[in-house]
């Protein structure tokens, strides 16, 4: 049976981040592989100095989950249900490739309502 690549790509385009995350985990479990990108061998100082884009990860929603969901909606522009799924799926990347200023602003917003956030 041949794979219908175009059909698979179309289905992936319509998937949410959470659905894609679940898919990656299922593939990793099924085939005993990892989707982690290879890391180039560089000194820690060099990597920190060269980093210009950051991923903002919601590590934990904390006690004020409703407030965190509202902030996620403002940050991502997602609807209520998608924002709730994102918060319930923590730890999860909220914003990818953000500038340092934007990443720190998002981190402050979420920590201001009790969430735990990590910049990667």
Token pair belonging to 17:
């981040």
Q: What is the pLDDT of residues 2-21, one digit of tens each?
A: 778 888 888 888 888 888 88
| Inter-residue contact 56 to 93 (CB < 8 Å) | yes
> What pLDDT is recorded for position 30?
86
Q: What is the mean pLDDT of residues 73-100?
A: 89
Q: Rounded mean pLDDT of 22-47? A: 71
Average pLDDT score, the chain? 83
């Amino acid at each position: 049976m041949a794979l219908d690549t175009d059909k698979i790509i179309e289905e992936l385009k319509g998937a949410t981040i959470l659905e894609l995350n679940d898919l990656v985990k299922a593939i990793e479990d099924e085939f005993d592989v990892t989707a982690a990108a290879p890391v180039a061998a560089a000194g820690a100082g060099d990597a920190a100095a060269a980093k210009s884009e950051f991923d903002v990860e919601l590590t934990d929603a904390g006690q004020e989950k409703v407030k965190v969901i509202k902030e996620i909606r403002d940050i991502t522009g997602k609807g209520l249900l998608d924002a709730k799924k994102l918060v319930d799926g923590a730890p999860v990347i909220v914003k990818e490739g953000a500038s340092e200023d934007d990443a720190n602003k998002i981190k402050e917003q979420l920590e201001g309502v009790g969430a735990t956030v990590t910049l990667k």
